[in-house]
Structure 1
């Protein structure tokens, strides 16, 4: 029998780990080439990973909810008696990273995958104990990930003493972390036994939810934005009656969002200092020669910001089509890492949430964001007469290091001009 070890592949965009959301197969199932076997979530998206080989599922080393590094064993396949021996290079990264628990260098595992992790398809093997030897020392060590071994070594833990919660007694990263936390708690208890014995009764009334995947990545980006970007916000309310009328007459697919985006891009051409970011390490402002427009969209996985590359070079029709495509993918939770990242300016239409205005955090490391509130009918004065008009609140949040308030206000007024008179916008740029 030849066993093939399929490791977590490199998902691109600098992603180094992924969380297992759900297994799409079970042990004993037969799988074909390119059949999806697992759904994982990274810091940027949720994707299904297909099997590169056909065979029977011999083992699933990690449970749903486990975070695996790229290169860690993902699934073990029995290729059958007639399979060509040997494993492809995709499994080599995990083997080459495997280190001995004792000091003295690095060893490369040459054994089959089931032997590498310390158990077979039916569970942990029975290892005979030598007379006078320690059961712990001769116990098989069920470990898949080299990250688990390294983490245990760094904290002085003997993996052979830890119980594994994974399939077949597999020791996971969570098992090691719990052991580390237990050791820290013991040390604290020896320092202050009284404090250790006192439990806060409020802990029984809370529920802790771990930040994972895209939610964790978004949280970290918000922290960076709040800490690193000294931003300010200015806003104004605009008569958008003609904008709504133009969207209704320009044909299918060209709606208010496309026209607002087009207005923003036209104003950026006149205010390139806002299509930029600050490189604090080098004390430089980095301006982009093209607008890579990020669009804030609510998805089943939380807030996502797909990017339209070189949006300023697209006609209104092509821009509308690309916006529709990305918004559709986001709402279906099917954005790929290629669809996100590298943005230079964000359009945030929080009006779809039913609010008039907001002071959003910038999409780090971008330096500016145009916010759009809800369209609403309000009393308005036109030529000295009171009437009802459709209005919208626009806001500009920007890194104050990029420009002063006068330039920021000038950009916002320019966008407002196009919203009030969209025909001027259509004359300013080539459309279809």
Structure 2
């Protein structure tokens, strides 16, 4: 006889205790394999897919899309056969001891043991599904879609796949169908008779939860706890841009401006380690950190995120550029893991991409400083005693005044500006 096993929301790591259901990837009656993603959830750190450690038939789902669940709450139930039951229980019990087991922390993937388990799963047919437990959220049936990319594209543009007519075989919804729906204007809403005066302060209310809520909490804490100050300087970036052009003309990976600025940051932090620190007020100590884990601000459709380049102080420009590009793409697609969004020791904020010259950013708590970089544009500049048009950038440093005084902060910023104006200065640290 098949047995129904309950799969609960697993430990998400990084101190996270709850998650919001964004999208179910399976419906009641679907056959699932071991480690198949079954639901997409959003935590305060990232949006990730949760794999199920059991193989069988989904008999119930718990929680509608938009519902927040605590770690350990039931997600769904799966009916497994006798062989499946033995494998599933063994899989779940061994997950705490094996890095390669199917039941892993969200966002960290699976490895070798996944392949071994898949070969032993015997999917059941929906006809063998027992009666579901009470109070599940029933599904209207799976929507035939060609790929997860199509689902994501529809979700990002507010389209309901159930309302689309697929042009593929047997009604399969293709990417072209979604793109056609995106170009089709929505019908105008029917007029509604006025229902009397609106209440005072009526307006759109946006819940502060998920990443938006986490950012709000961190910024509020930073403003409350950190006595910050900001200094800034204009720098002539003409030679830096020329050096970048020469590097890219020589072949190999293209060097981005952000990668060059990241390398300048690590060199400056080696000279001024006070700014790569945090404050432990309970112990009344400043903790200087030996490694530089460089965060960089990335704006996405879901809000501001700060991915972290681990051990940035050990990387050259090519390595920094590759990691920055990889994390930027993950941020854009919403696939950053919690581990990739935590543990930073210093943040680089390139707000120049928004077309602005300057800013006084809020420190990314519990770090001690953030370097801001404005746009690089042609401006009048006195160069070698004469007025000339040069590529100028404004640099700003917001710092925790508890970890250093203005002299140290000014020295750090001046060194960064010197490297921007004379890239050869970096040769001393290569």
User: What TM-score do the two structures reach when normalised by structure 2?
Assistant: 0.73
Residues 83 and 332 of structure 1: CA distance in aligned 2, closer, same or farther (over 3 Å): closer
Q: Is the Cα contact below 8 Å between 1:2 and 1:85 reproduced in 2?
A: no
Give matches, 1:1-400, under 5 Å.
1-80=2-81, 83-84=84-85, 88=89, 121=131, 124=134, 167=137, 201-203=199-201, 205-251=202-248, 252-400=253-401
What is the distance in 1 between the residues matched to 2:415 and 2:67? Answer: 50
Residues 71 and 387 of structure 1: CA distance in aligned 2, closer, same or farther (over 3 Å): same
String of CA shifts for 1:78-109, please: whole Å, max 9, x gaps: 22476537984959xxxxxxxxxxxxxxxxxx
User: What TM-score do the two structures reach when normalised by structure 1?
Assistant: 0.72
What is the distance in 2 between the residues matched to 1:301 and 1:324? Answer: 18
Shift of 1:270: 1.0
Residues 27 and 398 of structure 1: CA distance in aligned 2, closer, same or farther (over 3 Å): same
Q: Is the Cα contact below 8 Å between 2:298 and 2:331 reproduced in 1?
A: yes
Runs of 4+ displaced beyond 6 Å: none
What is the distance in 2 between the residues matched to 1:224 and 1:353? Answer: 26
What is the distance in 1 between the residues matched to 2:239 and 2:51? Answer: 50
String of CA shifts for 1:248-284, please: whole Å, max 9, x gaps: 1113331211111111111111111111111111110
Cα RMSD, aligned residues only: 2.1
**Partner SS for 1:19:** strand
Structure 2 segments unaligned to the other structure (5+ residues): 94-129, 139-196
Shift of 1:423: 1.8
Q: Is the Cα contact below 8 Å between 2:55 and 2:84 reproduced in 1?
A: no
**Partner SS for 1:335:** coil
Shift of 1:306: 1.3
Q: Is the Cα contact below 8 Å between 1:253 and 1:321 reproduced in 2?
A: no
Greater Cα offset, 78-87 or 48-57? 78-87
Q: Is the Cα contact below 8 Å between 1:350 and 1:374 reproduced in 2?
A: yes
Residues 86 and 238 of structure 1: CA distance in aligned 2, closer, same or farther (over 3 Å): closer
Q: Paired residue for 2:182?
A: none
What is the distance in 2 between the residues matched to 1:76 and 1:122? Answer: 8
**Partner SS for 2:425:** helix
Shift of 1:302: 1.4
String of CA shifts for 1:222-258, please: whole Å, max 9, x gaps: 1110100000000011110111111111133312111
Residues 81 and 293 of structure 1: CA distance in aligned 2, closer, same or farther (over 3 Å): closer
Shift of 1:301: 2.5
What is the distance in 1 between the residues matched to 2:275 and 2:229? Answer: 13
Residues 382 and 61 of structure 1: CA distance in aligned 2, closer, same or farther (over 3 Å): same
What is the distance in 2 between the residues matched to 1:368 and 1:226? Answer: 13
What is the distance in 1 between the residues matched to 2:406 and 2:86? Answer: 68
String of CA shifts for 1:46-99, please: whole Å, max 9, x gaps: 1111221121111111111111111111011122476537984959xxxxxxxx
1:411 and 2:412 aligned? yes
What is the distance in 2 between the residues matched to 1:122 and 1:269? Answer: 61
Larger of the two Rg values belongs to structure: 1
Structure 1 segments unaligned to the other structure (5+ residues): 92-119, 125-141, 143-165, 169-198
Q: How many residues align?
A: 330
